[in-house]
Amino acid sequence: MVSNQFPTLPLRPQQRHRYPLLAIAAIVSLTLLASGCSSTSKPVGAQQICAAAFPDVTVLAWADATVASLHDYGYSGPQATHPLAGAFAGAADDMAAAWCVTELTQGTIRWWGVVPGYDPVRAIDTLGSGEQKGDVSSPPLIP
């Protein structure tokens, strides 16, 4: 006699994915990485702040600052001029900022106070051909 039934094979229990948490962690990590690389990420250092503020201009030099240090900067005396004292209204004193140096004309450079989210503000123009390049400490002290 011939049977119409197929032979039954022992079935293995249904396999589960071995690494579901690893897969989820990878997806979350890639999502965070992609969002951190987007054009909406905020600049973090002086060079990045200056590059963002002056995308079409060659930035000769830059220096880390805070809003408070930009406000406090002064030159000349006996009554110092504080060109940025009233700039960046509403910005917290401890907010990251930068000094940025651009060439105004040949032989004249301009120091700017820059705070992300605000327009750059001119601090001082000095004579020079941009001998200060890259990371610098601060604007010159002018007697």
pLDDT, position 2: 54
CA distance 61 to 102: 7
* 2 HSE (CA, 13 A, CB side): 1
How remote is the C-alpha of 106 from its chain's centroid? Answer: 29
* Below-70 pLDDT ranges, the chain: 1-43, 129-132, 143
- The residue extents of the domains of the chain are 46-128
How many CB atoms neighbour CB 8 within 10 A?
A: 6
Q: Give 63's strand partners.
A: 99
Residue-level pLDDT at 129: 67
Residue 91 has phi, psi (to 5 degrees) of -80, 140
d(CA 11, CA 14): 8
Residue 41 is predicted with a pLDDT of 47
The model's pLDDT over 8-42, given as tens digits with 9 standing for 90+, comes to 545 455 555 454 544 444 444 433 334 343 344 45
Q: Residue 6 is encoded by which pair of tokens?
A: 């197929």
CA 135, distance to chain mean position in Å, is 15
Query: What pLDDT, on a 0 to 100 scale, did the predictor assign at position 31?
Result: 38
